[in-house]
Every structure is written in structure tokens, then in C-alpha cells.
Amino acid sequence: MAMTRTTRIAVTLAAAVILTGCGDAEPASNSGSSSAAPTPGAAVAWANAVCTASSDLHTSVQEAGAALDDASASAATLEQTQATVRDHADAVQESAASLARTLSGVPVGSDPQLAVLNELETASRAAQAAIEQLRTAAAQVADAKTAEQLSTALATLKSTLTATADGVKAYLTKLHSTVGVGEQAVQESFGSAPACREFTASATASP
């Protein structure tokens, strides 16, 4: 009986030592992870996302223009034309919103030189202002009740889409110049991003 009691005490003490050791180790592990610095790959991934979102916006605007030309030239019904315009206007707005979110998501702790990309955000906001007007013009198409009203609304939408395309083009021009002659950290991040090859190549080829 005495041996059993001794054994139980030994087991209890051993368990207490093990638990104490685990408790001491856990805070050390947490403190190490909280002080970890962001990796250079985070900046490259962000740059890649910026270029992807920029290309997507450009493509959505081009597709909206082509769809509008087709709708104006075809014998589609009022409802079909309205649905086409709505879908493409939504796609442009979603692409613009995605780009805005991406531009503002510079990884925390990244090289301060990436702050120069605030200029890109400014150019992006100019394009988004035109896209807001596109929303209004698309709503006019949606509200059309007659063929005459639809024709007038489509003409307004086409003019607004042209302004939107110009705004996006100005933004892309700024992106080209930024990745080509920007700070070293900017060039390294964008130069290493696969989705940015068309932008970095164009910037390099520019005189």
C-alpha cells in the first residue's frame, strides 16, 4: 500500500513538472511569432495583385465598349439590351472596386519606398470618378421604356464609357511610368511579379 502511495506521488510530481515546462514554452513561442517581419515575397504578391486588378479593369472596360457597339447595331429587344448593359456596367464597377482595395492593401511593414504608389491611388480614383458616371448612364438605360429613350440612353452611355476608357488609360500610363522609373523597392517588387511583365516590359522599352 505504501509503495502505491509513493508511486502516485511520483506520477503527480512528474505531471506537474511537464505542465510547468509547457506553460513556460508557450509564451516564448508566441513572442517569437509576433515579432516576425514581413517577407519580401509579400510585396511581390501585392504588386502581382495590383497588376492583375489593373489588367482586369482594362479588360472589363474594353468588353463593355464592344458589347455596347454590338447592342447598338443589333436588333436585340429592349430587355436584352438592358440586361447586357447592366451586366457589363456591373463588371466594370466590380473591377474598379477590386483595384481600389488592392492598391490600398500595401503589406504592413513593407519598404517605405512603396508609399510612392499613392500616386497610383490618385490616378485610380480619377478613373473611378468616370466609372461612377457610368453607373448613372447605365441606370438611364435600365429606365428606358421606349426604343427612342433607349437610343438616347445608349448614346449617353457610349460617351460616358469613352470617358471611362480615357481615365483607365491614364491610370495605366501612370502604372507604366511608376514601375519603370520608380524607387528601387517598387521596381524590384513589380519586376518580380509575373502579372506585371507587360507593364515592366513596356516601361523598359519606353525612351
Q: Over the stretch 108-137, which tens digit does the pLDDT of each residue have? A: 777 666 765 677 788 888 888 888 898 899
| Domain membership of residue 142 as a residue range | 41-205
Q: Are residues 91 and 168 in the same domain?
A: yes
Look at the alpha carbons of 26, 110, 168, 48 in this order and tell me if their dihedral is positive or negative: negative
**What is the predicted pLDDT for the residue at 181?**
63
- The percentage of the chain sitting over the pLDDT mark of 70, rounded to a whole number, equals 72
Look at the alpha carbons of 157, 158, 159, 160 in this order and tell me if their dihedral is positive or negative: positive
Per-residue model confidence as pLDDT tens digits over 49-100: 999 999 999 999 999 999 888 877 776 788 888 899 999 999 999 999 999 8
DSSP H helical ranges for the chain = 2-34, 40-73, 78-103, 118-143, 147-181, 184-191, 197-205
Would you list the DSSP string of 117-133?
Answer: GHHHHHHHHHHHHHHHH
Q: Cβ(123)–Cβ(170) under 8 Å?
A: yes
Which 8-state DSSP code applies to residue 39? P
List CB contacts of 59: < 8 A, sequence separation 6 or more.
95
**What is the predicted pLDDT for the residue at 1?**
47
Residue type, 67: A
Q: Are residues 95 and 31 in the same domain?
A: no
Residue type, 29: S
Q: Are residues 45 and 26 in the same domain?
A: no
Residue 143 half-sphere exposure toward CB, CA atoms < 13 A? 9
Q: Are residues 31 and 60 in the same domain?
A: no
**What is the predicted pLDDT for the residue at 6?**
42
User: 204 versus 6: which is more confidently predicted?
Assistant: 204
* Angle value at C-alpha 134, between 199 and 169, nearest 5 degrees: 20
Q: Are residues 7 and 65 in the same domain?
A: no
Q: Cβ(53)–Cβ(88) under 8 Å?
A: no
* Three-state DSSP state, 35: coil
**What is the predicted pLDDT for the residue at 113?**
65
Q: Are residues 58 and 89 in the same domain?
A: yes
Of the listed ranges 19-28, 170-179, 181-190, the one predicted with least confidence? 19-28
**What is the predicted pLDDT for the residue at 13?**
34
CA distance 58 to 67: 14
If one counts the domains in the chain, the total is 2
Q: Are residues 49 and 103 in the same domain?
A: yes
- pTM strictly above 0.75: no
List CB contacts of 137: < 8 A, sequence separation 6 or more.
153, 156, 157, 159, 160, 161
Work out the mean pLDDT of the chain and round it to a whole number.
77
Of the listed ranges 7-16, 118-127, 148-157, the one predicted with least confidence? 7-16
CA distance 183 to 120: 14
28, pLDDT greater than 50: no
Mean pLDDT in residue range 189-206 = 77
Q: Are residues 152 and 66 in the same domain?
A: yes
Burial letters 136-150, b for 16+ CB under 10 A, else e: ebbebbeebeeeeeb
Mean pLDDT in residue range 156-183 = 86
Q: Are residues 201 and 119 in the same domain?
A: yes
Q: Are residues 109 and 199 in the same domain?
A: yes
**What is the predicted pLDDT for the residue at 9?**
34
Q: Are residues 134 and 45 in the same domain?
A: yes
Most confident range (mean pLDDT) of 17-21, 33-37, 52-56 is 52-56
Q: Are residues 195 and 101 in the same domain?
A: yes
